[in-house]
C-alpha cells in the first residue's frame, strides 16, 4: 500500500478506506489530491483484495469542502476546460469502478466535494453534513459533473433550485430529496458504512459488479436500449458459476460459497 501526501489509506476485511486528509483546507481537492485519488482507485480496480471502498474526509468538519479555489483563480478558458475534464475523468472512474464505493459524508460536501460524493455508488451522511453546489456564488458553474449527476439523482427542478441559488442542504433535507441514502450519528458513520459493505459482500461479487454495470451503462440510454443492456448482463450472470452455486445453495438450504466467476 502506497503512502500518499493527501490521503490516508488502509485495507481491512476487503474494505479499502480512503480518507482525504487536508484538514487545514477542509479537505479541498487540489490537483495533487485528485492525482492521488486517481492512483488509489486504479489500485482498487486492479486488486482482488479490495471488495469495496469507503471514501471519507479527515476530521469532523468536512468531507470535501470543494475544489481548490487558489488553483481555479489562475485558469483561463482553455485551462478551465482541461481542469474540468481532468476531474470528470477521475470521478467517472470512481463511478464505473465495478465495486461498491460508499461516500461517508462526515461534514461539508460542497462544490467538488458534492460532485465527488455523487460519483460514488451510495452516499451515507453524518447528522452534521451539509451538501451543495455553491459555484454560482463565485461566478462559476460546477465542472466535475454536478450539473449532470444532481439532476439524475434528485430531478431537474430540485437540482436547478440548488444549482441556481448555491444553497446548502442539511443531512435531513438531503435524505428527503434523495441526495443521500442514509443519515447516521457522526460517531457511527464509518461503522455503518462498513456494515453496509459487509452485507453486500455476502452476495455474489460478479452479480454485484453486473448490477453496477447495468445501472451505469443503462441510465443514459433510451429504455429499450437500456433493457437490452440488462438482458445481456443477465445472460452473463445466468451462465456464471456464481449463479449455479447460488441457486444450488438456495435449493439445498445452505449459505452459498461464491467465487466471483
Known catalytic residues?
A: 115, 135
With a CB cutoff of 8 Å and minimum separation 6, the contacts of 139 are none
Residues whose CB falls within 8 Å of the CB of residue 133, separated by 6 or more in sequence, listed in order: 110, 111, 114, 115, 142, 146, 150, 162, 163, 166
What are the residue ranges of helices labelled H in the chain?
31-46, 69-72, 77-95, 112-118, 146-154, 156-165, 171-177, 189-201, 205-218, 223-238, 241-251
Burial bucket for residue 257 (CB in 10 Å: 0-12, 13-18, 19+): exposed
CB atoms within 10 A of CB 24: 7
Strands 122-126 vs 182-184: parallel, antiparallel or unpaired: parallel
Is 142:133 a contact under the CB 8 Å cutoff?
yes
Choose among 13, 17, 18, 19: nearest CA to 49.
13
With CA atoms as reference, report the closest residue to 90 among 139, 141, 42: 42
Amino acid at each position: 500500500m502506497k503512502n500518499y501526501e493527501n490521503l490516508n489509506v488502509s485495507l481491512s476485511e476487503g474494505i479499502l478506506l480512503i480518507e482525504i486528509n487536508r484538514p487545514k483546507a477542509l479537505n479541498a481537492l487540489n490537483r495533487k489530491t485528485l492525482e492521488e485519488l486517481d492512483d488509489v482507485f486504479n489500485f482498487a480496480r486492479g486488486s482482488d483484495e479490495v471488495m469495496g471502498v469507503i471514501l471519507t474526509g479527515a476530521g469532523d468538519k468536512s468531507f470535501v469542502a470543494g475544489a481548490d479555489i487558489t488553483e481555479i483563480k489562475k485558469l483561463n478558458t482553455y485551462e478551465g476546460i482541461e481542469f474540468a475534464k481532468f476531474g470528470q475523468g477521475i470521478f467517472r472512474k470512481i463511478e464505473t469502478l465495478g465495486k461498491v464505493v460508499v461516500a461517508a459524508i462526515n461534514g461539508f460536501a460542497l462544490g467538488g466535494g458534492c460532485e465527488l460524493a455523487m460519483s460514488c455508488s451510495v452516499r451515507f451522511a453524518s447528522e452534521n453534513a451539509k451538501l451543495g453546489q455553491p459555484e454560482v456564488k463565485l461566478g462559476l458553474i460546477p465542472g466535475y459533473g454536478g450539473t449532470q449527476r444532481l439532476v439524475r439523482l434528485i430531478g431537474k427542478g430540485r437540482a436547478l433550485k440548488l444549482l441556481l441559488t448555491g444553497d446548502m442542504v442539511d443531512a435531513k433535507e438531503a435524505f428527503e430529496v434523495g441526495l443521500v441514502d442514509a443519515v447516521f450519528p457522526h460517531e457511527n458513520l464509518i461503522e455503518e458504512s462498513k456494515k453496509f459493505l459487509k452485507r453486500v459482500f455476502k452476495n455474489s461479487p460478479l452479480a454485484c459488479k453486473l448490477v453496477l454495470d447495468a445501472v451505469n451503462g443503462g441510465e443514459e440510454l433510451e429504455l429499450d436500449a437500456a433493457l437490452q443492456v440488462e438482458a445481456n448482463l443477465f445472460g452473463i450472470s445466468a451462465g456464471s458459476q456464481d449463479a449455479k452455486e447460488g441457486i444450488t445453495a438456495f435449493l439445498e438450504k445452505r449459505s452459498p460459497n461464491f467465487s466471483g466467476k
